[in-house]
Amino acid sequence: MPDTRAAASSSAYIVGAYEHPTRFAPDKSVAQLHAEVAAGALEDAGLSWKDVDAYYCAKAPGLGPISMVEYLGLKPRVVDSTDIGGSSYLLHVRHAAQAIAAGKCDVALITLAGRPKAEGITMLRPDFDGPEHGFEMPYRPIVTNVYGMAAMRHMYEYGTTSEQLAWIRVAASQHASHNPNALRQEVVTVEDVINSPLIADPLHRLDSCVITDGGGAIIVTREEIARTLSRPLVKVIGAGEAIKHLNGGHHDMTYSAAVWSGAQAFEEAGVKPTDIKYASIYDSFTITVLIALEDLGFCAKGEGGRFVADGGLISGVGKLPFNTDGGGLCNNHPSNRGGMTKIIEAVRQLRGEAHPAVQVPNCDLALAHGTGGWISTRHGGATLIMERA
């Protein structure tokens, strides 16, 4: 039987991308935000609402895709509300590519929206009741201390330092300073990060992402349609998805699901980490980035601290430009889910539409990776590799 994995991705193109400019939306509903980002992505692609025949969302209001399909006035042949946290939207691109390759749809719309800032929701409050709840909640895990555990273990195993983690925030802040929509545009130093309040040893306040309202949307279509549009061609050439959990207690906090999702994506794309010109890496915390960089193969396990230090991730300075919009650490983490914006900035880079101060020269191959859930316990990973066609 022929291997069709590569064909599924290589027949799909991202033709529309839109990030909502707001970071605080007290006057908008979540459904309205979904509609506004969808309209923005369709306008960017040069397509209309009637062209959409597939719809993907996660954690949408009401009955999810049922409510949103009605609200948006769509008539899809395919709907998908697979939810693996903040990495859902990268997985949706993969699922849309598979549906397109199978002839199930032609134009897929993927949306994310939320307003946690306006609603006063923080990342500290667990908003789920999984089967593990009764066993773990008595010990009061919250997202900050669970990620702090991963950082502390990585430091113990490999000698990683707080100063090295701080360089990730420094890089993000350098990039955000050029983004007029970024929530935090001020440039910070390593000293600023490590002198900010400690929130979950060894993580500081500036090791943590922002909380924002807003959202984003992506349009994925088949090649025949993509080539009729007046937009630069961004082709999805590799994708992977994986879940990592506690495995009955046989668990190592120093690696993530990116070990598997990244390997799938690179195999499907037929490229290596050293070929990647730009990377969008999920950055709920600085440790999230460092572990993902190792797991994706950009450096060996335990070498992440040295890889990111001294500006290793700063565009025009370092070996691997990352999150040139400022990422979740400084720019935008809409609905506490950063995967969508990772795709959008990778598309900007491949189109040559990033800010001139951070645009990667001749950017023809980019990676976007999402981590959804809690990296020290159970989480999903989704990886996309895209090229300028």
**Per-residue tokens: 305:** 């601290």
CB atoms within 10 A of CB 251: 12
Closest C-alpha among 170, 377, 182, 198 to residue 286: 170
Q: Which residue has the tokens 């990296």?
A: 375
Are 296 and 376 members of one domain?
A: yes
Are 187 and 219 members of one domain?
A: no
| Calpha distance 166→324 (Å, rounded) | 17
Q: How confident is the model at residue 142 (pLDDT cuts 50, 70, 90)?
A: confident
Are 172 and 283 members of one domain?
A: yes
Are 200 and 293 members of one domain?
A: yes
Computed over its alpha carbons, how large is the radius of gyration of the chain?
19
User: Rounded mean pLDDT of 161-172?
Assistant: 98
Are 224 and 256 members of one domain?
A: no
- Asked if residue 172 lies in contact with residue 327, where contact means CB atoms within 8 angstroms, the answer is yes
The amino acid present at 15, given as its one-letter code, is V
- Tell me the three state secondary structure of residue 31: helix
Residue 129 lies in a domain: no
Flag whether pLDDT at 203 surpasses 50: yes
Those residues with Cβ within 8 angstroms of residue 103's Cβ, 6 or more apart along the chain or in another chain = none
Are 64 and 168 members of one domain?
A: no
Those residues with Cβ within 8 angstroms of residue 160's Cβ, 6 or more apart along the chain or in another chain = 151, 154, 290, 302, 304, 305
Helical residues (DSSP H) of the chain, grouped into ranges: 5-10, 30-45, 65-72, 88-101, 116-119, 133-136, 143-158, 162-176, 190-195, 223-226, 258-269, 286-295, 304-308, 327-330, 339-351
B/e letters for 149-159, b = 16+ CB within 10 Å, e = fewer, are bbbbbbbeebe
Are 201 and 264 members of one domain?
A: yes
Residue 128 lies in a domain: no
Residue 131 lies in a domain: no
pLDDT, residue 290, reads 98
Are 110 and 156 members of one domain?
A: no
Where does a domain end: 182, 202, 235?
235
CA end-to-end span of the chain, whole Å? 28
Where does a domain end: 172, 202, 235?
235
Flag whether pLDDT at 22 surpasses 80: yes
The answer to whether the Cα torsion of 184, 186, 187, 190 is positive or negative is negative
Residue 126 lies in a domain: no
Are 100 and 35 members of one domain?
A: yes
- Residue-range definition of the domain harbouring residue 150: 141-210+237-388
Are 217 and 357 members of one domain?
A: no
- Asked if residue 165 lies in contact with residue 204, where contact means CB atoms within 8 angstroms, the answer is no
CB atoms within 10 A of CB 130: 12
Those residues with Cβ within 8 angstroms of residue 268's Cβ, 6 or more apart along the chain or in another chain = 5, 6, 9, 237, 238, 239, 240, 385
Q: What is the DSSP letter of 342?
A: H
| Calpha distance 325→303 (Å, rounded) | 25
Read off the pLDDT of residues 29-46 as tens digits, 9 standing for 90 and up: 999 999 999 999 999 999
| Calpha distance 368→280 (Å, rounded) | 5
- Asked if residue 118 lies in contact with residue 24, where contact means CB atoms within 8 angstroms, the answer is yes
Q: How confident is the model at residue 4 (pLDDT cuts 50, 70, 90)?
A: very low
Residue 134 lies in a domain: no
Number of domains in the chain: 2
Are 175 and 87 members of one domain?
A: no
pLDDT, residue 126, reads 56
Residue 136 lies in a domain: no
Rounded to 5 degrees, φ, ψ at 374 are -115, 115
Read off the pLDDT of residues 82-124 as tens digits, 9 standing for 90 and up: 999 999 999 999 999 999 999 999 999 999 999 999 998 875 5
Residue 46 lies in a domain: yes
Those residues with Cβ within 8 angstroms of residue 140's Cβ, 6 or more apart along the chain or in another chain = none
Read off the pLDDT of residues 322-367 as tens digits, 9 standing for 90 and up: 999 999 999 999 999 999 999 999 999 999 999 999 999 999 999 9
pLDDT, residue 130, reads 79
Query: Looking at residue 310, which CATH number applies to its domain?
Result: 3.40.47.10
Flag whether pLDDT at 8 surpasses 80: no
Are 77 and 99 members of one domain?
A: yes
Residue 146 lies in a domain: yes
Read off the pLDDT of residues 241-287 as tens digits, 9 standing for 90 and up: 999 998 888 789 899 999 999 999 999 999 999 999 999 999 999 99
